[in-house]
Amino acid sequence: MEGDIVQMGAYIGAGLACMGMGGAAMGVGNVAGNFLAGALRNPSAAGGQTATLFIGIAFAEALGIFSFLVALLLMFAV
């Protein structure tokens, strides 16, 4: 009984943790969208900034990956 409750809590927690991925999605979308807006304004400067774009996306995405990791930990390791 007690273990079932723990497991239930873990699964609910895993589901809640997955909400963080929505935040990461918004962050990545924000980065890419703003890059596109800037690139359309000044296309000649866009080429040199793709590295920055990828770094920004990677940073934003990493936080989503962290929440996914928490979900995995709750499901498989707790």
Partner 1 sequence: MATEAQGSEGGGLVFHPMDQFMVKPLFGDGAVGMFTLTNVTLWMVLAVAATFALLVLGTSKREIVPGRTQSVAELAYDFIRKMVEDVAGKDALPFFPYIMTLFMFIVFANFLGLLPMAFTTTSHIAVTAVLAMLVFVTVTVVGFVRHGVGFLSLFWVSSAPLPLRPVLALIEVISYFVRPVSHSIRLAGNMMAGHAVVKVFAAFAPMIALSLGVGILVTPLSILAITAIYALEVLVAFIQAYVFTILTCVYLRDALHPHH
Partner 2 sequence: MASEAKAAESASGLPQLDFSTFGNQIFWLAVALVVLYFILSRIALPRIAAVLAERQGTITNDLAAAEEMRTRATEAEEAYKKALADAKAEAQKIIAETKAAIRQELDRANAEADAEIKARTAEGEKQIAEIRAGALDAVKAVAADVAGELVAAMGQKPDGRSVNAAVNARMKG
Contact residues toward partner 1 (CB under 8 A) are 7, 51, 54-55, 57-58, 61-62, 65-66, 68-69, 72, 75-76
Which helix (H) or strand (E) covers residue 16, if one does?
Answer: helix 2-17
**Closest CB to partner 1 among 38 and 61?**
61
CB 65 within 8 A of CB 18: no
**Closest CB to partner 2 among 2 and 51?**
2
**How far apart (Å, rounded) are the C-alpha atoms in residues 3 and 63?**
30
Which of 2, 41, 43, 47 binds partner 2 (CB under 8 A)? It is 2
**How far apart (Å, rounded) are the C-alpha atoms in residues 49 and 47?**
5
Asked if 18 interacts with partner 2 (CB under 8 A), we say no
